[in-house]
Amino acid sequence: MENFTRRQALRAGALGLMSAGFLSWTTEANAASTIETIYKAAGPWPVATGTSGGHRLYYPQALGSGGVTHPIVTWGNGSWATPDNYPGLLNHLASWGFAVVASTSTTTGTGAEILAAAQHLIGLNTDPASVFHGKLDTARVAAVGHSQGAGGSINAANRSAGLIKTVVPIAVPAQWMASPGDEFSVADLTCPVLLLSGANDWLISSAATVQGYYDQATAGAGRALLKGAGHNDIQNTGGGFLGYVTAWLRYRLQADTQARGAFAGSTPELPTNTAWQNQALKNLT
């Protein structure tokens, strides 16, 4: 039998409470900052989709055009969700030049499925029969996830022996909600982490929860809560999360100096963006 206080609490957050209106009370504030606005718009790459080895794939249609190799993003679903719940984000990242691989598992908290998906895509890079053959930058891999998958993204990074270079946990739950085997440690991360949540996500991924994880991070970190957003606002279109998730990945995996300006330098944009609250950055160059 599942542990009610953990998995059922997550399910209540994902399904019941949202429908009752407790997690999404208001419309997200409009982003008014330049860098966020740039990366919230669709990128220049037309997107193709597919499946392989039980994983869903989202990637630039013209893979390798101009000699480009594409960094990898491996995705972790929230509890009882599948990639079909996140079309906005997954397609958006592909439009910015990332090869995205998404586990179809609805329980990704251990991180095993997220890491296996990354390893599967890396394998396709060496397969002459694959469209990905020689087109991927397998040294630049990120793990991104929502809710249970946010904890899973941290686990995947900690168990990847350095393969995963950055993590973006979105609406990461409080530790008491992690079922046995899903426990994760931000303190053990050896790569930079961007912790994002919704300002109205008071039950599962509250300001205090995000603050606690941020305080534990030692390898570079950012945190912010999107005003007006609840636990599941990353689903469907991706809403106000698209800009900074994309900018962070461009900064960390593609050395994009414009994107870097949101998080590093003398006057980074994120802390001054009035569409967000509880922002902080540390140890980022």
What is the predicted pLDDT for the residue at 179? 85
Question: Do the domain assignments include residue 285?
Answer: no
Question: How many folded domains does the chain comprise?
Answer: 1
**What digits encode the pLDDT tens for the residues 169-206?**
999 999 888 888 899 999 999 999 999 999 999 999 99
We report the CATH number of the domain holding residue 10 as 3.40.50.1820
- Strand order from edge to edge, sheet including 193-198: 47-52, 55-60, 99-103, 70-76, 136-146, 164-170, 193-198, 221-226, 276-282
Domain that holds residue 221: 4-280
Question: Among candidates 242, 225, 230, which has minimal Cα distance to 36?
Answer: 242
Question: Do the domain assignments include residue 185?
Answer: yes
Tokens for 54, please give them.
């039980």
What is the predicted pLDDT for the residue at 95? 98
What is the predicted pLDDT for the residue at 274? 95
Q: What is the pLDDT along the chain (285 residues), one digit of tens a residue?
A: 233 234 434 333 333 333 222 223 223 334 348 999 999 999 999 999 999 999 999 999 999 999 999 999 999 999 999 999 999 999 999 999 999 999 999 999 999 999 999 999 999 999 999 999 999 999 999 999 999 999 999 999 999 999 999 999 999 999 888 888 899 999 999 999 999 999 999 999 999 999 999 999 999 999 999 999 999 999 999 999 999 999 999 999 999 999 999 999 999 999 999 999 999 999 999
What is the predicted pLDDT for the residue at 205? 96
What is the predicted pLDDT for the residue at 9? 41
Question: Do the domain assignments include residue 215?
Answer: yes
Question: Do the domain assignments include residue 85?
Answer: yes
What is the predicted pLDDT for the residue at 33? 83
Question: Do the domain assignments include residue 206?
Answer: yes
Which residues fall within 8 angstroms of residue 143, CB to CB, at 6 or more apart? Answer: 73, 74, 76, 111, 114, 115, 118, 152, 153, 154, 156, 157, 160, 164, 166, 167, 168
How buried is 102 (Cβ within 10 angstroms: 0-12 exposed, 13-18 middle, 19+ buried)? buried
Question: Do the domain assignments include residue 228?
Answer: yes
**What digits encode the pLDDT tens for the residues 128-148?**
999 999 999 999 999 999 999
